Amino acid sequence: MADKICTELLPLLVLSGLLFPGTVKFAFSTGGIASGCFGSEREALAKLKGAFADPSGWLTSWVRKGCCKWRGIVCSNLTGRVVEINLHNPYVDDNLSGNLKPGQALGGEISPSLLDLKELKYLDLSMNNFGGTKLPRFIGSLKQLRYLNLSGASFGGMIPLSLRNLSRLQYLDLSDGFAESSQNDLRWLPGLSSLRYLNLAAIDLSKAADHWLRAINSLPSLKELHLPNCFLSKLPLSLPFINVTLLEVLDLSNNNFNSTLPWWLFNLTRLIHLDLNSNNFGGPLPKSLGSLCDLRVLKLSLNDITGEITDFIDGLARCNDSKLEILDLGNNRLSGNLPDSLGNLKKLRYLQFLLNSFHGSIPRTIGNMSSLKEFYVADNSMSGIPESFGQLSTLVAVDLSENLWEGVVTERHLANLSSVTDLDLYKRSINISLAFNIAPGWIPPFKLRFLTIWSCQLGPQFPTWLRNQNDLKTVVLRNARISGTIPDWFLQLNLQLDELDFAFNGLTGMPPTSLMFVDDQSNVDLRSNQYEGPLPMWSSNVTTLYLNDNRFSGPIPPNIGELMPYLTDLDISQNALNGTIPLSIGNMANLTTLVISDNYLSGEIPQFWSNLSLLYVLDMLSNSLSGSIPSEVSFLSSLKFFILSNNNLSGKLPSSLQNCSSLYSLDLGENKFSGNIPAWIAESIPSLLILRLRSNSFTGEIPSEICHLSNLHIVDLSHNSLSGPIPPCIGNLTGLKVELTDADTVIYQGQLTVVAKGRFVQYGQSILYLVNSLDLSDNRLPGEIPEAMTNLLRLWTLNLSMTGRLPMDIGNLEWLETLDLSSNNLSGLLPPSMTALTKLNHLNLAYNDLSGKIPTTNQFLTLNDPSIYEGNVGLCGIPLPMSCPGDEKQPQSPDDGGRNSKSEDGGDDLEHIWLFLSIGLGFCVGFWGVCGTLIVKKSWREAYFGYVDRMKNKLIALIAAEKPEKIGRIEG
């Protein structure tokens, strides 16, 4: 909507006669008396046509005698000569998406015969495709030109210097007209002293870095200047003399300016439209804008502007009759309260404060903003909504998401919002601090279309104020403490929905299967409720379906794939479903996510994968599936997460698994798989991050090829019957030597259990990238721990079943926090380097044949549970009862000394790490419910945030720029 307002405004300037009272008219108008036209001019036009490529035959009318009637030609009433050529490509106007069919544009070359049109004043070749040919220099000889529009015409090379001869030119639009690769200067500009309109959008002016402003400042008639996306970076903070005093429109958006805001800009007292968005302007806003009372549009979003806005808004509000319609301060670092003076901006239609640090209450005066249509204050720290908010009868769209709202919303806060159609109030944190308390009989004055409320208390009753909302398209009432059943009146509103999300409530009864979904990419999310009974199904327009974490039971309907063939996401995990996996799931050719974990599904995994080549996540964890992995798994070429753990599956790993070559996670733990760990795994699935084969019946040696899996971070081969030596090259597993820094690559669906700290720890995806673990315990791996294993510097967890001696350099594993070597045949002395394991907080050496004195420094001060050392006859010293030879006389004092000197460092360090980790875990556990499947994968992200798309009034670019970071924040 903002765009609409702007585009409404701009042509206003052009059309209000400011520029070309006579020439901006339809190109098809006739040429008056001179319907004949001059022979020489007709010839010139014929040559022009000859040089053009005209695949769509636009110029077929250019054959008859009267050239003044040819398409796009206008002749002078007085002289009969051609004054205007308008060959703007009209297809563009129909084709907003910009997918021009190349055949429809004019191309070829511009013939020099143009110069024979001595009175040509107007030339428009915009939106054609000259395929990178150079703009000919002779253009500069068209001395009579007043209007030249070459925008989007795909010329190559540079803007010719000869353009400076067009001293009568008033309107010049070269936007998007030249290849990106050509760096231009502006030496041609100062000659154009009549220029009123200049648009050089998306032309690389980096060669004009030093002189662009001087060149512009030499154009005293300039009223409208568009230089967005021009690779400009220098904007002087002071200007000795402003010559462009007539400037009304200034667009410098999307450049690289990184200074503070130059305050001379605000001396341009005629400005109507100022757009500085998407730069890196820093520092505060100017204190006063007192003289800019004509300003209608001010856009400063996507900069780095700091400080409060009170003085600035006060300044704007001091104008007698403020004309400001659009104020966009989104995505900066502004803070403080929103000032009361906002209420004086009576013409303001669009107010954007997204992504700043504003706090406090929305000012009560907001009720006076009698033109406000759009109000966006999402992603701030605002806390209060005044009742006067309910007076905004013009308000159409409002986004209050991601703030710290407190208190109670009553019908008074909504009383006169008679125009509102879009209401967004989501908060991804599960904490609820805002409650709706609306009288049961209240009938709202609005008809909402898009309603998104997360983490606000609406319940316990289903909100009765929706009773007359029969225009709803999107209904998201998530984590709203609603319990009981969805009332019949809601089901009978005849809604035409594209999204229904009642996740994280306490809903019971019949799932709302009668609701109609009209958008062919509709979303249904009822996860984490208390629905029982058979798994509900919807129509084929539903493409994402989340029913997980309910109490659905019985079979998955066998015809699910016929009912909803276009599903992309299906999560029915954590229910009580039984029976077999229906074959018809194989029909869902768009499926990317299939999560059926934590049910009672049994039988074999069907051979149904030949159409599922887009499948990205397959999670069947914790069911009772039996049989083997179907060989058809080879069709799953997009699969990233393959999780079959905790079932009754058996057989060997099929060699067809080699085709799943982009797997991140192969988790087959807790099954009955047997045979060898295939050597091809390394070559075929080099992307593997997680290899979990725990608790199966694998035999044979660990193939040394596994050492080539350089991304492996979690290796769990424990509880199998593997034999032979551990390949010494295991010390080369580079994934265990480095920290995964790019959290984005460890996108993970579901959870993974890693044995750490002596117990099972569930890691969510948020911190999975921090986890490095190697667990080979409970196998038949003879021999010694390879010395090279001490190269795995980033290892957090090491569980081994070994014999022989501990490597002397084990102290190199400085990140190790879990070391479990219990019940092995380890012998020999404890390596002194173990005291360097300062992050160790879980150690188990029990039941070996180790000997020597238990260290008493660093971490060993805290590892003082005797049971972790017991069953080693040769170990002595604290905390064991037997003291070491020669130690008898030593009292506690050496320990105390050690504690004072060294342990503090170790302890602090450890606490730091664990604080970090437990924050990570707490955050993850807390969020998991809400964000469990909000994965950093584009299509999912879109599925969840897709409503942004239809809210064109949001700053889409802002969201896009911000989203990855935010998800990263939520998920760790």
Ligand X SMILES: *[C@@H]1O[C@H](CO)[C@@H](O)[C@H](O)[C@H]1NC(C)=O
By the criterion CB under 6 A, which residues form the site for ligand X?
Answer: 214, 217-218, 239, 241-243, 264, 267, 553-554, 578-579
Whole-angstrom Cα Rg for the chain: 36
Rounded distance, CA 387 to CA 366, Å? 10
Q: How far is the CB of 358 from ligand X (least distance, A)?
A: 29
Angle made by CA atoms 627, 633, 639, in degrees to the nearest 5: 125
Q: Which is nearer to ligand X, 55 or 290 (CB)?
A: 290
Q: How far is the CB of 545 from ligand X (least distance, A)?
A: 21
- Using CA atoms of 161, 165, 168, 172 in order, give the dihedral in degrees to the nearest 10: -10
Q: How far is the CB of 602 from ligand X (least distance, A)?
A: 7
Q: Which is nearer to ligand X, 50 or 290 (CB)?
A: 290
Q: How far is the CB of 36 from ligand X (least distance, A)?
A: 46
Q: What tokens appear for 308 in the block? A: 């409060």
Q: How far is the CB of 190 from ligand X (least distance, A)?
A: 7
| Residue 758 · residue 865 · CB < 8 Å | no
Rounded distance, CA 81 to CA 375, Å? 53
Q: Which is nearer to ligand X, 532 or 701 (CB)?
A: 532
Rounded distance, CA 201 to CA 739, Å? 43
Q: What is the largest CA-CA distance in the chain?
A: 124
Q: How far is the CB of 262 from ligand X (least distance, A)?
A: 9
Q: What tokens appear for 197 in the block? A: 């309109």
Q: How far is the CB of 646 from ligand X (least distance, A)?
A: 18
Q: Which is nearer to ligand X, 239 or 432 (CB)?
A: 239
| Residue 714 · residue 689 · CB < 8 Å | yes
Rounded distance, CA 265 to CA 238, Å? 9
Q: How far is the CB of 603 from ligand X (least distance, A)?
A: 8
Rounded distance, CA 807 to CA 787, Å? 5
Q: Which is nearer to ligand X, 264 or 847 (CB)?
A: 264
Q: Which is nearer to ligand X, 34 or 276 (CB)?
A: 276
Q: Which is nearer to ligand X, 243 or 357 (CB)?
A: 243
Nearest one of 659, 577, 560 to 623, comparing CA atoms = 577
Measured in degrees and rounded to the nearest 5, phi and psi for residue 287 equal -70, -35
Nearest one of 956, 960, 971, 429 to 744, comparing CA atoms = 971
| Residue 806 · residue 830 · CB < 8 Å | yes
Rounded distance, CA 795 to CA 365, Å? 58
Q: Which is nearer to ligand X, 217 or 361 (CB)?
A: 217
Q: How far is the CB of 316 from ligand X (least distance, A)?
A: 16
Q: Which is nearer to ligand X, 267 or 513 (CB)?
A: 267
Q: How far is the CB of 578 from ligand X (least distance, A)?
A: 4
Token match 């229904």: residue?
500
Q: What tokens appear for 350 in the block? A: 């669009």
Q: Which is nearer to ligand X, 288 or 540 (CB)?
A: 288
Using alpha carbons, list the distances in angstroms from residue 746 to 109, 222, 690: 52, 53, 10
Token match 């889409």: residue?
956
Q: Which is nearer to ligand X, 580 or 634 (CB)?
A: 580
DSSP-derived pairing of the beta strands 714-716 and 773-775: parallel
DSSP-derived pairing of the beta strands 450-454 and 483-484: unpaired
Q: Which is nearer to ligand X, 61 or 218 (CB)?
A: 218
Q: Which is nearer to ligand X, 241 or 760 (CB)?
A: 241
Rounded distance, CA 148 to CA 165, Å? 13
Q: How far is the CB of 216 from ligand X (least distance, A)?
A: 8
Q: How far is the CB of 166 from ligand X (least distance, A)?
A: 18
Strands (DSSP E) found in 313-402: 326-328, 333-336, 350-352, 357-361, 374-376, 381-384, 397-399
Local structure of residue 942 (DSSP, 8 states): H
Q: What tokens appear for 411 in the block? A: 């019908």
| Residue 637 · residue 661 · CB < 8 Å | yes
Q: What tokens appear for 252 in the block? A: 């410098």
Q: How far is the CB of 261 from ligand X (least distance, A)?
A: 13
DSSP string, 644-695: --SSEEEEPPPGGGGG-TT-SEEE--SSEEEEE--THHHHH-TT--EEE--S
